[in-house]
Amino acid sequence: MQSTITKITGALPYLEKKAKARQSLADRQIGSKMDAYSAQQDLVEHQQELRVQQGRLDEATAQVASLKEQREQAEAEYRHKNFDDLTQAGQKASSLHEQLLQASEKCRTHRRWRPHARPDAHGGCASRQPS
C-alpha cells in the first residue's frame, strides 16, 4: 500500500502540470478539448485512488495496533494466571512442608516414649516389635 501511495503521490504533480498544459492549449484553441478533459480525468482518478489507498493504509495501521493490544492483553492474562498458579503451588508446598515438620516432630516425640518406633508408609509412626 505504501508503495502505491508513494507512486501516486510522485505522479500527481506531473499529472497536474499535464492537465493545466492541455487546458491552456484547449483554451487557445491549439489543442483538443477532449485531450484536456482526458488529462483532467486522469488527474482526478489518481487523486481519488490516493485517498482510497491512504484510507486502506489507515485501516491496516489501526488493525495492527488492535492486534498488538490484544496480544499484550493475552500475554498479561497468561502471566497473571501463571503467577497465580505459582503462588498456589508455593502455598501448597509450604503447607506440605509444615505437615512434614509436624509429622517429624510427632515421630521424635513418639520415639522418646517408644524407642523402637519407626515411620510407617503414610508418614506416621509405627511401633516396631523388638526382635
71-89 pLDDT, tens digit per residue, is: 999 999 999 999 999 999 9
Q: Identify the pLDDT of residue 26.
A: 87
Q: Where are the domains of the chain?
A: 2-105
Amino acid making up residue 11: A
Q: Identify the pLDDT of residue 17.
A: 92
Q: Identify the pLDDT of residue 31.
A: 83
CA distance 103 to 81: 33
- What global pTM score does this model have? 0.55
Average pLDDT over residues 43-57: 95
Q: Is the pLDDT of residue 121 over 80?
A: no
Average pLDDT over residues 83-112: 90
